[in-house]
Amino acid sequence: MKFSKSFALSVVCAAILAGCGGDDGKNGIDGTNGADGADGTNGVSVLVTSADVITTNAQHAYAVYSDSLIAAKALKEQLEVFVAAPTDENFTKAKEAWLDAREPYGQSEVYRFREGPIDALTKNEEGSWTLVPDEGPEGRINAWPLAEALIDYTISMGGTELPEDATNLSLGGNLIASENENYAAINRELLTKVAQESDPETVQSAFAFGSDDRNVRSGYHAIEFLLWGQDLNGNGKYEAQRDYTAGHRKASDYFTDVGTCTSEGIVQTEERTCTRRGQYLLESAKLLVEDLNNVTDAWTPGQGFHYMAFTHADNTQSALNKILTGMGELSLGELSAERIQKSYDANSQEDEHSCFSDNTHRDIYLNAKGIQNTFLGEYTRFSGEALAGASLYDLLVVKGHAELANKLRAALEDTMAKASVIDTTAKLGSSFDIQIQENEFRPAIKATMDALAAQTNVIEEVMATLEVTNP
């Protein structure tokens, strides 16, 4: 894979030089330097084309999914170490690996909502990869709210609002503790199964039919839950007034020596439960790596089937539409409305994205960052390597819409400034679930939602200007 940094630089030069004479770049390095060069067409650079922007976008998709995959593999290895030797130190490392894995993935979400591999990758009847709307792996990778009560022990968080008492009632027992023969093996099937008519009633009840009717029990958030547990207060209770702590799961939930395995903070006689919990953890990680691997493959420059289709010369308008649609949909409907407004309005912990680990501030920041990355044609890899390519910003300038280019750049910067407040507040100890309930912090959250809405307006203006609203 090649990321042309010098190319990006020349784009910037060309944009600056446009209109004031100089080499238009069409002859490459054979062109004449600086003011001595000939003007481009009408004095405007023609260097950055739609195709360049699309190629950059596709290459950066590969980079961000590769990073997600690398980090998920690292997480999987760390989990294997932890399950084999469940020490506090290994437990901490496993949790850190999970947090690390979220960093690239959060930035990849701008590639959603555009019928790309993450939402649509599946195998057809002949067994080859294809895209079918809503059949992709995203639901297995990052869906939430998780059906955590179906996976492992929980206490009712509704205790203060609803009359149920979890000690009396459970969702048919959870899969990890279950001794039901239908759930004997903890494997891919258990994590992804969709119920069939031929299944027993209990299995149907647990797994339901069809992807729209699912109980989420795999992906990042399943792993998160199995590492942190429910985000209860420090006293182990669910209370209306939340404290700053994340979930309090203990490493001893993975102890397999006789008489050491814990659930709900106490030693259970059954080591089997802890063994199965470890299996569930590893199986979730395995599935995550597998799914991310497939998505990454589809984006492989020069050979991935989606990369080839997306960058094909015939698909320029639809590809630009997809890039901007992903930016717009993530900005408003997903990030601002569903991921922020809903928990903000409802003061609902359940609706925050990473509720077990209290990492929602990063989800918000990284999602917004991904949108900005796309517009600027930039992405800083997990390794620290900064990638830059032809950007939508450049394209707008080249097409004579410098003002609009700056307008969107400013809108995105404004959002990042606002999202940074949420991020920093959380890093200083007040996690997102505290921020939504404290009047002191709520204005910053509202400001982020408003900034996201404002940037969506400009994104739509860009779509109209580039005439890609209806490709």
Partner 1 sequence: MKYIFMLLLMGCLCSCQPFNSSNDIPVFDISELKPGGQTTLEKLDKRTYIHSSPNLTMDMRMNFWSGFSFFRDPWVAAPASTTDRDGLGPLFNARSCIACHRSGGRGKLENKEIFKPVSVLFRLGNITDVNNYDPVYGGQIQPKAIRVLHDDLPKQVQGEAAVKLQYQYITGLFSDGTEYQLRKPLYELVKLGHNPLNEHTKVSARYAPAVYGMGLLDAIASEDLLQQEDINDENQDGISAKYNRVTDVELGINDAIGRFGFKALQPTLRQQVAAAFVNDIGITNPIFKYDTCTKSQIKCKVASGFSSLKGEALEIPEKFFAQTEYMSKFIAVPMSRDLKSKKAQKGRNIFYQLDCQNCHQPSYITANDYSESKLSGQKIWPYTDLALHDMGPGLADGKVEFLASGSEWRTPALWGIGLQQDIQGFQAYLHDGRARSIEEAILWHGGEAKMAQQAFIKLDKAQRDALIFFLKQI
Chain residues binding partner 1 by CB under 8 A are 115, 133-134, 145, 147-150, 154-159, 161-166, 168-173, 197, 201-202, 204-206, 208-210, 212-216, 230, 332-334, 336-338, 341-342, 345-346, 348-351, 449, 453-454, 456-457, 469-470
Query: What's CA 309's distance to the chain center, in Å?
Result: 23
Of 204 and 260, the one with the shorter C-beta distance to partner 1 is 204
User: What's the closest the beta carbon of residue 89 comes to partner 1, in angstroms?
Assistant: 28
Nearest to partner 1 of 387, 445 (CB atom): 445
Q: To the nearest whole angstrom, how small is the minimum distance from the Cβ of residue 154 to partner 1?
A: 4
Integer Cα distance of 381 and 183 in angstroms: 40
Distance CA 384, CA 373 (A): 15
**C-alpha–C-alpha distance, residues 222 and 356, integer Å:** 10
Residues 6 or more apart whose Cβ sits within 8 Å of residue 183:
175, 190
Q: To which residue do tokens 């997306």 refer? A: 310
List residues bridging with 130 in a β-sheet.
Answer: 122
Name the residue nearer to partner 1 (CB basis): 33 or 470.
470
CB closer to partner 1, 59 vs 325: 325
The distance of closest approach from Cβ of residue 425 to partner 1 in the complex, given in angstroms and rounded to an integer, is 22
Contacts of 148 (CB under 8 A, 6+ apart): 154, 225, 230, 356
CB of 61 to partner 1, least distance (A): 19
**H-run or E-run covering 415:** helix 402-427
Cα distance between residue 426 and residue 434, in whole Å: 9
Which is nearer to partner 1, 289 or 451 (by Cβ)?
Answer: 451
CB 373 → partner 1: shortest distance, Å?
A: 22
From the CB of 337, what's the least distance to partner 1, in Å?
Answer: 3
Report in angstroms how near the CB of residue 148 gets to partner 1 at its nearest: 6
Residue (168 or 439) nearer to partner 1, CB: 168
Of 3, 1, 2, 17, which Cα lies nearest the Cα of 394? 17
Q: DSSP letters of 267-332?
A: E-S-HHHHHHHHHHHHHHHHHHHHHHHHHHHHT-TTT-HHHHHHT-GGGHHHHHHHHHHHHHHIII
Q: What angle do CA 371, 434, 427 make, to 5 degrees?
A: 60
**Is the CB of 78 or the CB of 341 nearer to partner 1?**
341
CB nearer to partner 1: pick between 47 and 324: 324
CB of 128 to partner 1, least distance (A): 19
